[in-house]
């Protein structure tokens, strides 16, 4: 919960979260795990630590809120469907495992450490004195629904885990030779020469005969074991879609209903933002003292100074409170009648008070016209949803009574979509591609078409979260090899490419044999028709004919070795290493070596953390069976324990 009170960048627990992110099994929820000893049944028990349903729900909801701050359209249901529940659970298990081991090792957190941590939280500081204020802390905790004991447990648990994790992750002092070796490897260079043989030097390829092309078409392999030049299977089908957007178009909402909804939302506080006040309150024994204190506050003295001068209790400071947050209704009315930077003596129900209002924010109440479009959209969507489900019921009732797909659609009042034969990728029989058709069908509906049995409508299915569909395959046109006249141009082009590649590969193999027998590369280039290139490169660099494959190969070769590499279609490179140019460690900048050492230390620390995490999970026997599926589902807002997580 620390993230509710301080910036993550300022928190000492940032280390914990960064480490977990590096390990790729945690989500950035600094401090949300707390100490795993909550009441009630545990979702999972990790050694002596228990992750309660309440704790997991708090962590999950916090992460959903964080995602919604980035994209307000994200819903908790979408987050669950994308696996967020499992990710948060794994994070909590990880934190629990480290907390359990820290306790077993006898690590403790002193009261002084907890006090220092709490006193540093900005939300707990008095805005006037800028010092820790217990009343401010209690108010801040109340706003997030947490007791003092719960917060103290959270602080203690976070500090306890951080001791162990920081120790494990804080690896330092890797041998200097490791940084030096990495520097020497990175800075090493190699001078290489290559003989490139490509299509520009290929001999002319005679035109193929029809028989050669027909054989090529039949035998050239493609995908899924089918020949490359194969006409796909096509299917004609009838589709019935019940889409929410179609029902919204027909919805008309009564103006009186919209106004009633507006008034209801206004009355229940769903609209606008409430008035807020930040103020300091000095309780006084009588009216005269209240007037004197208010006068001093008005003149600019701080509430703490006034309290000390008049012998009053420390001021109660409240920030951004609503009128209903002040228990004394008489005092609340007076405070909310005051403007910012004003002071006054106020008689409450129980005592006189001197009040200094430090900030005032008035209520914002949108008009009906401001909200009309939103109310119209929401009401139309709600009405359309009802209409959609009514149509679904009519459709399914008609089908259950034996009606054909056409008759059932007519009864339900929804349109039929009749499609001429299409391939799985939405191409039509003329092999024409329509992007709009693809978007409307290919991602989900066409796979269902190609899974269906011809002549029988499938059961109603959901798609796009809100919509429904059913379909019937009316005709299947089987896949077959193309006739020569259908693909002559494409087949001949591909045939020529293969012929050229075969010719050049043979030429490259002949050149390789010459080089291995000791012939000079320049001489071989003349007889093979290729050209030579020379370059000096480091690992990862490329130049000319030396692509990443060639450079990577070169750094695994010895001087004088020769390798033949395919570096593209119809391109072969005969590669040799002329010279290995080592780096000089004496010329290595100290800052470079220091940076390399820091990287190595961090990587080793992360490896230690990863290994420790895996060891603890095994030692505590945590498996899928360790998780109470019912409590897990309830914690992340599911009602079905078997729902996808």
Give the SS3 label for residue 469: strand
User: What are residue 235's DSSP bridge partners?
Assistant: 422, 476
Residue 335 half-sphere exposure toward CB, CA atoms < 13 A = 35
pLDDT of residue 23: 36
242: nearest Cα among 405, 379, 402: 405
pLDDT tens by residue, 236-287: 999 999 998 888 876 778 888 888 888 888 777 778 888 899 999 999 999 9
Give the SS3 label for residue 360: strand
295: nearest Cα among 235, 355, 231, 350: 355
Place of tokens 């009401």: 379
Structure tokens at 625: 């069976």
Range scoring the smallest mean pLDDT among 182-191, 245-254, 426-435, 541-550: 245-254
Range scoring the smallest mean pLDDT among 30-44, 149-163, 354-368: 30-44
Equal CATH topology for 2-171+605-635 and 276-361 = no
pLDDT of residue 37: 39
Give the SS3 label for residue 397: helix
pLDDT of residue 145: 55
CATH number for the segment(s) 2-171+605-635: 1.10.4030
User: What are residue 386's DSSP bridge partners?
Assistant: none
Spatial neighbors of 160 by CB under 8 A, at least 6 apart, are 35, 99, 102, 103, 107, 108, 109
In the chain, helix, strand, coil percent, each to 5?
A: 50, 20, 30
pLDDT tens by residue, 577-594: 999 999 999 989 999 888
Alpha-carbon span 575 to 564, nearest angstrom: 6
Contact 318, 360 (CB under 8 A): no
Give residue limits of the domains in the chain: 2-171+605-635, 189-226+486-581, 233-249+383-478, 276-361
Structure tokens at 476: 């299947």
Spatial neighbors of 77 by CB under 8 A, at least 6 apart, are 637
Spatial neighbors of 321 by CB under 8 A, at least 6 apart, are 139, 276, 277, 278
Contact 154, 31 (CB under 8 A): yes
Contact 613, 23 (CB under 8 A): yes
Spatial neighbors of 298 by CB under 8 A, at least 6 apart, are 342, 343
How far is the first Cα of the chain from the last one, in angstroms, to the nearest whole number? 24
The answer to whether the predicted template modeling score (pTM) of the entire model surpasses 0.75 is no
- 276-361: CATH, from 3.10.50.40, 3.50.50.60, 3.40.50.300, 3.30.1490.100: 3.10.50.40
Alpha-carbon span 143 to 127, nearest angstrom: 17
| Torsion on CA atoms 344, 347, 351, 353, rounded to nearest 10 | -10
SS (H, E, C) 402-446: CCCHHHHHHHHCCCEEEEEEECCCCCECCCCCCHHHHHHHCCCHH
Alpha-carbon span 379 to 260, nearest angstrom: 12
Structure tokens at 251: 């919805």
Mean pLDDT for the stretch of residues 561-570: 89
User: What is the overall mean pLDDT for the chain?
Assistant: 83
What DSSP designation does 301 have?
-
Structure tokens at 515: 């080089």
Range scoring the smallest mean pLDDT among 204-218, 517-531, 536-550: 204-218
pLDDT of residue 31: 35
Contact 307, 292 (CB under 8 A): no
SS (H, E, C) 551-611: HHHHCCCCCCCEEEEEEECCEEEEEEEEEEECCCHHHCCHHHHHHHHHHHHHHHHHHHHHH
Alpha-carbon span 559 to 562, nearest angstrom: 9
Left, alpha or beta for 582 (phi > 0: left; psi -120 to 50: alpha)?
Answer: beta
pLDDT tens by residue, 76-90: 888 888 899 999 999
């Amino acid at each position: 919960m620390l993230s509710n009170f301080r910036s993550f960048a300022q928190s000492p627990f940032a280390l914990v979260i960064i480490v977990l992110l590096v390990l790729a099994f945690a989500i950035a929820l600094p401090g949300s795990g707390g100490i795993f000893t909550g009441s009630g049944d545990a979702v999972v028990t990790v050694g002596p630590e228990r992750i309660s349903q309440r704790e997991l729900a708090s962590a999950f909801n916090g992460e959903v809120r964080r995602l919604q701050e980035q994209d307000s359209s994200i819903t908790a249901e979408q987050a669950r469907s994308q696996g967020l529940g499992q990710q948060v659970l794994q994070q909590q298990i990880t934190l629990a495992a480290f907390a359990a081991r820290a306790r077993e090792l006898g690590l403790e957190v002193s009261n002084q450490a907890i006090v220092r941590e709490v006193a540093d939280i900005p939300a707990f500081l008095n805005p006037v004195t800028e010092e820790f204020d217990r009343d401010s802390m209690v108010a801040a905790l109340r706003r997030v629904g947490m007791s003092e004991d719960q917060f103290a447990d959270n602080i203690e648990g976070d500090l306890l885990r951080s001791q162990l994790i920081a120790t494990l992750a804080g690896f330092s002092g890797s041998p200097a030779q490791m940084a030096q070796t990495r520097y020497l490897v990175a800075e090493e260079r190699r001078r290489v020469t290559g003989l490139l043989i490509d299509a520009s030097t290929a001999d002319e390829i005679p035109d193929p005969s029809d028989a050669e092309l027909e054989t090529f078409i039949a035998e050239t392999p493609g995908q899924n074991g089918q020949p490359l030049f194969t006409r796909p299977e096509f299917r004609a089908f009838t589709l019935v879609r019940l889409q929410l957007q179609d029902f919204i178009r027909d919805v008309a909402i009564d103006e009186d209903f919209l106004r009633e909804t507006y008034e209801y939302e206004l009355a229940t506080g769903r609209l606008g933002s409430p008035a807020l006040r930040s103020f300091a309150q000095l309780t006084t024994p009588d009216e005269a003292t209240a007037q004197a204190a208010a006068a001093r506050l008005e003149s600019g003295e701080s509430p703490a100074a006034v309290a000390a001068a008049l012998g009053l209790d420390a001021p109660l400071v409240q920030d951004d409170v609503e009128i209903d947050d002040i228990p004394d209704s008489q005092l609340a009315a007076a405070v909310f009648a005051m403007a910012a930077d004003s002071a006054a003596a106020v008689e409450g129900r129980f005592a006189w008070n001197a009040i200094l209002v430090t900030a005032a924010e008035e209520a914002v109440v949108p008009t009906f016209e401001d909200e009309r479009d939103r109310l119209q959209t929401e009401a139309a969507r709600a009405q359309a949803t009802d209409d959609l489900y009514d149509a679904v019921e009519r459709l399914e009732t008609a089908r259950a009574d034996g009606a054909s797909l056409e008759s059932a659609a007519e009864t339900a009042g929804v349109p039929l979509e009749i499609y001429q034969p299409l391939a799985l990728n939405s191409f039509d029989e003329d092999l024409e591609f329509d992007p709009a058709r693809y978007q409307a069908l290919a991602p989900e509906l066409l796979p269902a078409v190609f899974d269906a049995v011809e002549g029988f409508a499938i059961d109603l299915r959901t798609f796009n979260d809100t919509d429904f569909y059913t379909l019937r395959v009316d005709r299947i046109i089987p896949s077959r090899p193309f006739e020569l006249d259908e693909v002559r141009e494409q087949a001949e082009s591909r045939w020529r490419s293969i012929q050229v590649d075969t010719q050049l590969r043979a030429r490259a193999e002949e050149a390789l044999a010459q080089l291995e027998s000791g012939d000079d590369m320049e001489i071989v280039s003349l007889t093979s028709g290729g050209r030579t290139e020379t370059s000096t490169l480091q690992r990862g660099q490329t130049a000319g004919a030396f692509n990443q494959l060639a450079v990577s190969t070169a750094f695994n070769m010895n001087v004088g070795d020769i390798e033949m590499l395919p570096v593209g279609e119809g391109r072969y490179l005969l590669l040799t290493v002329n010279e290995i140019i080592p780096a000089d460690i004496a010329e290595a900048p100290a800052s470079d070596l220091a940076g390399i050492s820091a990287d190595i230390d961090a990587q080793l620390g992360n490896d230690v953390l990863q290994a420790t995490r895996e060891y603890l999970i095994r030692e505590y026997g945590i498996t899928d069976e360790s998780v109470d599926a019912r409590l897990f589902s309830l914690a992340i807002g599911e009602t079905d324990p078997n729902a996808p997580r």
